[in-house]
Structure 1
Amino acid sequence: MQYNQLGSSGLSVSDICLGTMTWGIQNTQQDADEQIAFALDKGINFVDTAEMYPVPPNAQTYGETERIIGNWIARNEAKRADIVLMTKVAGSGLKYIRNAGPITANAIDNALTNSLERLQTEYIDVYQLHWPNRVTPHFGKHWPDGANPTKTDREREVDGMRDILQGIKRALDEGKIRHWGLSDDTPWGIHTFLTLCKDMNIPLPVSIQNEFSLLHAKDWPYLIEMCELENIAYLPWSPLATGMLSGKYQEGARPEGSRWTLSQRMGLFRDKAPAQAATAQYMQIAETAGITPSQLALAWCKQVPGVTSTIIGATSVSQLSENIDAFDIALSDEVLAKVHDVLREYPLGF
């Protein structure tokens, strides 16, 4: 296992971050315990969760993933210091979470108190803003008919970001969080937070996690360049495009128990013809290389310059093992050339 510095935090994190969003719907407490034990044995020291997990989010299971992790922490207190634990405060959109209100300083106070209680820990290593209050080009909104920046009230957003930072500072000062980060944000969001932090004398964000994969490479190179030059760790989430790059959803297949068989809050917006066509070609490249399609996608993600740690999730230990093994694979120049030929043909599969 390789380890990298998490931005300006001083923390050293594994190349792999264990994602947990299936714990509580697709996975039980026992499943989670087995995955954590396996991941730690493989050298993973980085775990990501969120107050709204598991996914798909709903009122009945809200917070269950954090509770599952908390149950593990309560039984393994001596190991708490060995892991870098991240969680996130949810933004607006879910009525059962703070009446669908935006992220504010008060929302952070409320959410953080509850997350710490569910996680049964005294501190969060990295506390993240799950998504911006404004509409951004994420979750299928990256096309010209998606997010519309001309409709954004800049001053209102900046005022809201100042308020958020007051909540972050309070949490840092109280020792409830050690660092903070962003998620699903843009170069403008990063730039504005950096400027405000310097003006307000508040520690800078140490990381950002955005969706990034062979089917969704929109952050390369511009946002990733900014992260690298500003010492902000870039953490890809959904490097398998919700499982699509494994090939299991080809030709309309829906394996029993898979994520795409569950109700999707935003629909299956990734299920587009170009994405399916690109996946078919990646599957052929993987077969020729003697690895699985998932391993090809993950090994590619790891070698992208500027990627700090890749967030992976699994619903079984066997799947987790396959994915972890991908990070020991060095793709040859020949394989990378074939992959990049497909990526140029389908730079955004969905």
Structure 2
Amino acid sequence: MDNDSCFRGCLEARAKLNLSLRVLGRRPDGMHELSSVMTTLSLADKLSFELCKLPLRDDVRHSVARESERPPWRIEADVQSIPSGEANICFRAAELFFEHMGIDPFSISLSIFIEKRIPDAAGLGGGSADAAAVLRFLFQNRERFCRWFGLDATSVSLRELEQIALRCGADVPFCLYGGMRLCEGVGEVMTLLPSLFPAAVLLATPAQFVKTKTAFEMLDQFRETDGGAESVQVETRSQEDTSSVPLNMRTDSQRRESVAAWKEAIDRQSLRVMEPLIHNDFVPVIAGALDQVEDLLGALRSTPASVVSMSGSGPTCFALFSDRVTCESVSATMASRFPDVRFITTAIDSTSELF
């Protein structure tokens, strides 16, 4: 189906990996200032879209005015644990996009089916990646919507799309663009970094997890205890790394030094050189709450992996290898040792999305 009033399409939503994640502090509005170096992976969900323009009846127009009414869009996944309908972040992404364009959501029939390959609630940005894919797909088809509803083709810019993405979640702006970037603020301040070679990645996702909001609350509480602020800095880091200094206290030169340190490590295309920059503030908190995370990190560090850490607020642990053969061999060994952990072999794919 692809005619003047209906069309279909597919788009991939790539997982993200936090190579470094520092929580710099909490703002007056309750949001946390972050400094994180993220890259996209080749691991991706696949989203299938079907959209149609609908005739709008007078009674439907009246119902739109009621805030309790939301369009009957269909959003489903092939995994039961993924929320459907308006409970899915993809619903909010589409709703915000059409709201910005001034399009009545009841004049659009929207169906999205998600083939999940990214583990959910795992620190890999699965939901954020899906929401970003929805925004990319709608943005790529904005001229069609303008024809349908007689709108100006400039009714949504790429910069405005970023702002919509941020309203969906802190990781969505990064997932919108992909690649390898230093993300600061609450995720909206991004600095593009050079592409890293496609290192092999082993992901290890335990069955248990801690919700993101809870993880931040645990980290705040952890830092308020005696020694917490110091013990949270548990992973090796370079003396030249200034990315742990709060944004509002960092000079431009310190920020440039932080970016320069990453660029130098990436330019050398060596995981060993990059290793001192790898860090995650959530590691001691999540490892303390979930024994399996601590066990996995210890087991992965005993392998030939060049880099071992945890992504996001967890619980997914990861190991980076220079070659895929070693990565797959370690995966097989780990799977027999941790039968209730989901292991996935993938690769870094730090190419940016195309618009």
TM over 0.5: no
Higher strand share: 2
Q: Which has the higher contact order (CA 8 A, sep 6+)?
A: 2
Please, what TM-score do these two structures have when normalized by structure 1? 0.26
Answer with 1 or 2: which has the greater Rg: 2
Please, what TM-score do these two structures have when normalized by structure 2? 0.26
Higher helix share: 1
